[in-house]
């Protein structure tokens, strides 16, 4: 096995995951690497979970830590720590089923933040002192600097803020990723903040490696495990139709001269619908597109290979097993075309606004006025989190939200009178798309938006109910800017909770 720990001053710190986990005290604030199942520590969190389990079985004060990451991780991290009830506070994003259950049963605190904002809040001390950073890397260089792994996330900030650093050197991650990263060291808190000189998506403004003071490192654990990677489903009919509506919309925006022929930098959320949109773009005539996004999915690799996409900037990969195999096979090709940055830069409002990003994200539900819920099932139960969707929706040039028009076998309408939770307000949402059609909300008043959304996006089974609600709300004559029947506005959700369906037979 080739040594990946070239810094001689650090070599004596190699130890087992159990020995490293023993250095993490109860109550610690722990900043971990990891973003959408990429580049998270694979061994120490599990060893820590075992230690917590043993401690809690023996009784006494419960052993819990606060877990801060880039975004979602994997069963080896979130799953294992949540299973032993080892997490007091989790932020800023998760998608793990056990974590989700803990959050929704009220035994884990969860703070759901815009992903671009986490680093500055950490510097400002909003989360308390950072005790330990646990960071997966590909290798440690002679001078102690670190070759980042398959995600950058908040790693720069965690290393800077933490008193102590535990490194996981993962031999499964390819050393040939060296050179893909761009770690920007120019950020500061107000009033010392300066413009970020990034005016094109493919510009480099930072350094190839993570700086890490040698004296902070307390342990190094060598691992050999792949990133979590779930296979993509083939796009279903609804996703395909959503993608077709979006493509037609792009074509018409280009024809009207409102978008350039190679569009504007794309941000694409994770999941099957955003992936279907990428596939549709790839099968169309577009060439030389760019992406300024958070996550590189399989669809983007294919687009880079076909030339549809010229380059992609992100903070992490989120690939299927096939996607990883393809990436490994041809890293030299992808290294020329992909830049991985800290999430404060990949999701930076200043840059999303300057570049004019086209944001395409999935949603849980939208209301007739264009407010969007991305996070809460029936207004109370956390699904994943807002992630980066707000960073891009608020600041992008176009913000597009997408969902099938119904959920749960048609029992739920995803277009409702009033959203049961708001993540993206009517002021941030420009376009809503379902398999039924696309509503372009730009330049419309709330009542005009309601007509466009009901007409174009609602499922035919729910359209008459929505029209009836809207017409009666207008007839009430109370507030004609955004007419509502307040007693009834959330009655669809309430009925679902009571009966298991929003339908009225």
Please report, in range form, the residues annotated as the binding site for CoA. Answer: 364, 384, 388, 408
Among 157, 384, 395, 399, binds ligand 0RQ (CB under 6 A): 384
The string over 2-41, giving b where at least 16 C-beta atoms fall within 10 Å of a residue's C-beta and e elsewhere, is: eebbebeebeebbbebeebbeebeeebbbbbbbbbbbbbb
Q: List the one residue from 29, 31, 34, 36 that touches ligand 0RQ (CB under 6 A).
A: 36
Task: Determine which residue in the list 150, 170, 346, 414 makes contact with ligand 0RQ, applying CB under 6 A.
Answer: 414
Q: Is residue 431 part of the contact set for ligand 0RQ (CB under 6 A)? A: no
Reduced to 3 states (helix: H, G, I; strand: E, B; else coil), residue 97 is helix
- Both tokens of 34, joined, read 């990891």
Q: Between 252 and 271, how does the x/- string for binding to ligand 0RQ read (CB under 6 A)? A: -----------------xxx
Binding mask 63-82 for ligand 0RQ (x = CB under 6 A): --------x-----------
Instruction: Pick between residue 36 and residue 150 the one whose CB is nearest to ligand 0RQ.
Output: 36
Q: How far apart are CA 393 and CA 424, in angstroms?
A: 7
**Contact flag: residue 87 with ligand 0RQ (CB under 6 A):** no
Number of residues forming the site for ligand 0RQ (CB under 6 A): 28
Residue 142 C-beta: closest distance to ligand 0RQ, Å: 34
Q: Closest approach of Cβ 295 to ligand 0RQ, in Å?
A: 6
Contacts of 5 (CB under 8 A, 6+ apart): 11, 14, 139, 140, 169, 220, 222
Q: Is 408 in the site for ligand 0RQ (CB under 6 A)?
A: yes
Is there binding between residue 151 and ligand 0RQ (CB under 6 A)? no
Please say which residue, 153 or 483, places its beta carbon nearer to ligand 0RQ. Answer: 153
Q: Assign 149 to helix, strand or coil.
A: coil
Q: What are phi and psi of 419, to 5 degrees?
A: -65, 145
Of 76, 88, 136, 294, which one is the catalytic site residue? 294
Task: Please write down the HEC assignment for all residues of 355-371.
Answer: HCCEEEEECCEEECCCC
Question: Do residues 146 and 119 lie in contact, with contact meaning Cβ atoms separated by under 8 Å?
Answer: no
Asked whether position 374 contacts ligand 0RQ by CB under 6 A, the answer is: yes
Q: Does the active-site annotation cover 471?
A: no
User: Which SS3 state, helix, strand or coil, does residue 79 take?
Assistant: helix
DSSP states along 205-233 = -SBSSB---GGGEEEEEEE--PPP--PPP
Select the span of 126-134, 185-193, 296-304, 404-412 touching ligand 0RQ (CB under 6 A). Answer: 404-412
When binding is defined by CB under 6 A, the residue of 309, 377, 429, 454 that contacts ligand 0RQ is 377
Residues 211, 482: Cα–Cα separation, whole Å: 52
Nearest to 40 by CA among 133, 146, 132: 133
Say how far apart CA 387 and CA 248 lie, in whole Å.
27
Nearest-angstrom CA–CA distance, 170 and 172: 5
Q: Per CB under 6 A, does 365 bind ligand 0RQ?
A: yes
Which residue minimizes CB distance to ligand 0RQ? 387
Considering the rule CB under 6 A, would residue 275 count as an interface residue with ligand 0RQ? no
* Interaction of residue 112 with ligand 0RQ, rule CB under 6 A: no
Q: How far apart are CA 253 and CA 358, in angstroms?
A: 12
Query: What track of x and - describes contact with ligand 0RQ for positions 467 through 486 (by CB under 6 A)?
Result: --------------------
Rounded least distance, CB 420 to ligand 0RQ, Å = 9
Q: Which residue has the tokens 């090709």?
A: 333
Helix (H, G, I), strand (E, B) or coil at 270: coil
In whole angstroms, give the CA distance from residue 169 to residue 354. 36
Residues 160, 294, 426, 435: which binds ligand 0RQ (CB under 6 A)? 294
Identified binder of ligand 0RQ from the candidate list 275, 389, 395, 434, rule CB under 6 A: 389
Rounded least distance, CB 381 to ligand 0RQ, Å: 9
186 token code pair: 């120019």
What percent helix, strand, coil does the chain show, rounded to 5? Answer: 35, 20, 45
- Nearest to ligand 0RQ of 66, 414 (CB atom): 414
Active site residues: 294
> Footprint of ligand 0RQ on this chain (CB under 6 A)?
36, 71, 93, 115, 269-273, 294-295, 361-365, 374, 377, 383-384, 386-389, 407-408, 412, 414
């Amino acid at each position: 096995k080739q040594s990946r720990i070239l810094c001689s001053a650090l070599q004596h710190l190699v130890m087992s995951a159990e020995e490293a986990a023993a250095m993490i005290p109860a109550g610690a604030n722990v900043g971990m690497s990891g973003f959408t199942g990429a580049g998270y520590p694979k061994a120490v969190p599990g060893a820590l979970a075992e230690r917590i389990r043993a401690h809690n079985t023996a009784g006494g004060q419960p052993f819990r830590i606060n877990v801060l990451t880039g975004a979602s991780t994997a069963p080896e991290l979130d799953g294992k720590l949540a299973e032993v009830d080892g997490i007091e506070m989790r932020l800023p994003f998760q998608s793990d089923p056990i974590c989700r259950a803990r959050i929704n049963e009220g035994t884990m605190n969860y703070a759901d933040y815009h992903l671009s904002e986490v680093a500055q809040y950490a510097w400002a001390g909003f989360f308390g002192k950072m005790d330990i950073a646990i960071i997966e890397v590909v290798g440690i260089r002679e001078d102690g600097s670190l070759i980042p792994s398959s995600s950058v996330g908040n790693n720069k900030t965690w290393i800077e803020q933490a008193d102590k650093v535990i490194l996981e050197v993962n031999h499964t991650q390819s050393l040939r990723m060296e050179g893909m990263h761009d770690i920007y060291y120019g950020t500061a808190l107000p009033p010392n903040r300066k413009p970020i000189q990034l005016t094109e998506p493919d510009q480099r403004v930072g350094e190839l490696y993570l700086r890490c003071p040698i004296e902070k490192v307390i342990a190094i654990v060598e691992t050999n495990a792949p990133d979590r990677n779930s296979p993509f489903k083939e796009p279903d009919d609804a996703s395909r139709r959503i993608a077709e509506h979006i493509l037609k919309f792009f074509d018409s925006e280009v024809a009207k001269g409102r978008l350039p022929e190679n569009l504007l930098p794309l941000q694409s959320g994770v999941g099957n619908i955003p992936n279907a949109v990428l596939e549709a773009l790839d099968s169309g005539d577009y060439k030389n597109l760019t992406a300024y996004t958070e996550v590189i999915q399989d669809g983007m690799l294919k687009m880079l290979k076909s030339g549809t996409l010229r380059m992609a900037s992100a903070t992490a990969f989120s690939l299927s097993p096939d996607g990883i195999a393809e990436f490994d096979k041809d890293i030299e090709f992808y290294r020329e075309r992909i830049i991985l940055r800290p999430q404060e830069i990949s999701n930076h409002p200043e840059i999303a606004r300057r570049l004019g990003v086209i944001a395409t994200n999935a949603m849980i539900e939208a209301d007739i006025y264009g407010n969007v819920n991305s996070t809460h099932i029936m207004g109370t139960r956390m699904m994943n989190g807002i992630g980066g969707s707000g960073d891009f929706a608020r600041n992008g040039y176009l913000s597009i939200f997408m969902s099938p028009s119904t959920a749960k076998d048609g029992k739920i309408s995803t277009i409702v009178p009033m959203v049961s939770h708001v993540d993206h307000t009517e002021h941030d949402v420009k376009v809503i798309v379902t398999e039924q059609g696309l509503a372009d909300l730009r330049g419309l008043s709330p009542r005009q938006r309601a007509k466009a959304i009901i007409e174009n996006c609602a499922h035919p089974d729910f359209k008459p109910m929505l029209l009836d609600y809207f017409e009666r709300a207008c007839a009430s004559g109370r507030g004609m800017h955004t007419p509502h029947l307040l007693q009834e506005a959330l009655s669809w959700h309430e009925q679902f909770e009571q009966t298991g369906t929003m339908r009225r037979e």
